Amino acid sequence: MTAGVAISAWLSRNTGRPFAAMPATEVTGGSIHRCVRWHGEGGDAFVKVAGADTLSAFEAEAEGLQALAAAGALRVPAVLAVGEAGGHALLALEWLELEPVAGSDGELQAQLGERLAMQHRVTAPRFGWHRDNTIGATPQQNAWDDDWVRFLRERRLGAQLDLAARNGLESRIVDRGRDLGDRCGAFYSSHRPVPSLLHGDLWGGNWGVVSSVREPAIFDPAVYYGDRETDIAMTRLFGGFGPRFYAAYQAAWPLDQAAGTRRPFFCVHPGGGTVLAYVALSRHLGPDRPFYGLQAPEPLNGHAPPGDSVEAMAARYAAALREVQPAGPYLLGGWSLGGVVAWEMARQLRGAGEEIELLALFDAHVPRPRPAGDGDLPLLAAFAQNLGLSPEHLPVTAAEVQAMSPDERLAVLVDAGRHLRLLPPDAGVEGLARLFRTFAGHVEAMERYTPGTFDGRLILYRAAEETAHGNGRDAHGWRHLALRGVEVREIPGTHFTLLREPAVTELAARLAEDLP
């Protein structure tokens, strides 16, 4: 009897219905086991075929699929049979006609996120599972433990490091991994995860869309009970999960992360070159959101590099960003000129193959040249407003300012800034002149910049008063450059008050809702 005939007989015996004598087709994508489609009366079967020593792993996978099915949250292929025939270990599953993930729409991503949260609400008294299993071809230890940190350190990180050491990974890297394991309790100082039912290997290749009913299905699990954020972290490794997935999950069961363990948000300086404008925003986002301000070196030395450009600034800041977070997905943003530079950073990072999960523009406009003959006065007025000085704060008329020398104009700003405590008491004209030169250099670089297109998620947090006065109705010029469209959030205030109270409170609340 050939192996094919033996497997066909095994299928028929275990399902109670006849199957063809030989498999219909090989199924691509089974990188670990041979996978075939087998025709049968009443429905086809998806059959995994491997050496007899794989039986235990197939039995564990079958139990994992049954546990996920019992949760009643997400579609999984039904287990038809598991056993041996023809000298092979076999796992036979219901055949599901799947569409590729790339063809799924946002609604299906949202269904997946919502239903995964439902699955995670199935809990156990302890972390682990009643048996060991495999993740891919790698053994996965699941002995029960009351302490998640110990389970994570010993059953996950420690076990992988032991395997890596046996396979020849250099000891320096193994030692660094063990040091991380010793310290990982710090990530859980305020986070107390419950033991949730996990898929355990939820990357983009382990879910699809069932064509007949248009619903998401998951498969190839490595089931155990653990911190649900483990499944969420796995979804971020290789792509395949969009913003609608994460938003729906958050809406169904918001993640409760430990202080400082959320993914970092990187914010580019505005025209003045400093990041002081973001102090209130970063405070409102809270201590569990790492907030990195990308500041220019020029405020310290008073001049921008000769011929500096938005493209060059973006390249410098992208390199600095990668020192903190070597790989994406990235969360970027910026106010005013900072938004323009962040746009170019996002384009360069995408060109390098990185994912930009969110680009947040705080009332940033597509650059356009200043009208000829305007001189430096409009630039100085914008600089003053960046400092927080509105025209009503200045004890001079426009005509008087027009007649002043550059240093006299700066002296007026220094006096007003000191009086309103927007500048330190020892601020002087020379220091403010350095800041103005930096501001002017950045504005000139922005005016020379012609932005290209961007294909990631873009949100414009637009100052509502600018829109009310007729500005910004075209999403500040970004709409025709944003290949995936622009989401617009209206924030009370003007361009210059957006990052100050009370507007910044609203801005931070809306941004917090959008950040993953």
C-alpha to C-alpha distance for 303 and 427, rounded to whole angstroms: 18
Name the residue with tokens 């969110």. 358
Among residues 187, 219, 252, the one where a domain terminates is 252
C-alpha to C-alpha distance for 114 and 254, rounded to whole angstroms: 11
Contact present, 121 and 253 (Cβ < 8 Å): yes
- For residue 258, is it within any domain? no
* Number of Cβ within a 10 Å radius of residue 224: 30
Structure tokens at 175: 């030692």
Residue 422, pLDDT score: 64
- Claim to verify: residue 143 and residue 228 sit in the same structural domain: yes
The residues with which 96 forms a beta bridge, in sequence order, are: none
Q: In what order do the strands lie in the sheet containing 79-85?
A: 25-26, 34-38, 45-51, 88-94, 79-85
C-alpha to C-alpha distance for 174 and 177, rounded to whole angstroms: 5
- Claim to verify: residue 313 and residue 461 sit in the same structural domain: yes
User: Active site residue: 44, 175, 179, 201, which one?
Assistant: 201
Structure tokens at 46: 């998806």
308 is catalytic: no
Q: What angle do CA 394, 273, 297 make, to 5 degrees?
A: 135
- For residue 372, is it within any domain? no
- Claim to verify: residue 10 and residue 77 sit in the same structural domain: yes
- For residue 124, is it within any domain? yes
- For residue 260, is it within any domain? no
* Number of Cβ within a 10 Å radius of residue 429: 18
Q: What is the CATH number of the domain that holds 282?
A: 3.40.50.1820
* Number of Cβ within a 10 Å radius of residue 513: 11
Q: What is the DSSP letter of 482?
A: B
H-helix or E-strand containing 305?
Answer: none
- Claim to verify: residue 241 and residue 154 sit in the same structural domain: yes
- For residue 35, is it within any domain? yes
Q: Which domain holds residue 186?
A: 100-252
pLDDT per residue of the chain (516 residues) written in tens, 0 to 9: 588 899 999 999 999 999 999 998 988 755 688 999 999 999 999 999 999 999 999 999 999 999 999 999 999 999 999 999 989 999 999 999 998 776 557 889 999 999 999 999 999 999 999 999 999 889 999 999 999 999 999 999 999 999 999 999 898 889 989 988 888 887 776 678 999 999 999 998 999 999 999 999 999 999 999 999 999 999 988 778 887 888 889 889 988 755 456 789 999 999 888 888 899 999 898 877 889 999 887 654 545 555 689 999 999 999 999 888 888 889 999 999 999 999 999 999 999 989 999 999 999 999 877 665 455 666 677 777 666 666 666 666 666 666 677 777 777 777 766 766 666 676 766 766 777 777 878 888 888 899 999 999 999 999 988 655 444 457 899 999 999 999 999 999 988 889 989 999 999 999 998 998
3-state SS string over 194-210?
CCEEECCCCCHHHEEEE
Residue 307, pLDDT score: 62
- Claim to verify: residue 490 and residue 355 sit in the same structural domain: yes
Among residues 95, 128, 160, the one where a domain terminates is 95
Q: Are strands 215-218 and 224-226 parallel, antiparallel or unpaired?
A: unpaired
- List, in order, residues 6 or more apart from 221 with CB less than 8 Å away: 61, 64, 65, 68, 76, 199, 200, 201, 206
- For residue 257, is it within any domain? no
Residue 469, pLDDT score: 47
Domains of the chain: total = 4
E runs forming strands in 344-501:
356-362, 458-463, 487-491
- For residue 232, is it within any domain? yes
Contact present, 92 and 80 (Cβ < 8 Å): yes
Torsion of CA 462, 466, 467, 470, to 10 degrees: -150
- For residue 356, is it within any domain? yes
Q: What is the CATH number of the domain that holds 201?
A: 3.90.1200.10
- Claim to verify: residue 454 and residue 437 sit in the same structural domain: no
Among residues 67, 95, 123, the one where a domain terminates is 95
Contact present, 113 and 244 (Cβ < 8 Å): yes
The residues with which 91 forms a beta bridge, in sequence order, are: 48, 82
| Integer CA distances (angstroms), 162 to 50, 158, 272, 309, in order | 26, 6, 51, 49
Contact present, 49 and 36 (Cβ < 8 Å): yes
- Claim to verify: residue 80 and residue 117 sit in the same structural domain: no
Q: What is the CATH number of the domain that holds 45?
A: 3.30.200.20
Q: Are strands 215-218 and 207-210 parallel, antiparallel or unpaired?
A: antiparallel
DSSP per residue over 420-442, as a string?
A: TTSS-TT--HHHHHHHHHHHHHH
Kindly provide the b/e burial profile for residues 342-372, where b requires at least 16 CB atoms within 10 angstroms of the residue's own CB. bbbbbbbbbeeebebbbbbbbbbbbbeeeee
Residue 8, pLDDT score: 93
Name the residue with tokens 């809406």. 251
Contact present, 480 and 375 (Cβ < 8 Å): no
- Claim to verify: residue 347 and residue 491 sit in the same structural domain: yes
- Claim to verify: residue 187 and residue 325 sit in the same structural domain: no
- Claim to verify: residue 319 and residue 235 sit in the same structural domain: no
Q: Are strands 356-362 and 458-463 parallel, antiparallel or unpaired?
A: parallel
- Claim to verify: residue 487 and residue 402 sit in the same structural domain: no
Residue 441, pLDDT score: 80
| Integer CA distances (angstroms), 285 to 103, 318, 515, in order | 35, 23, 10
- Claim to verify: residue 339 and residue 226 sit in the same structural domain: no
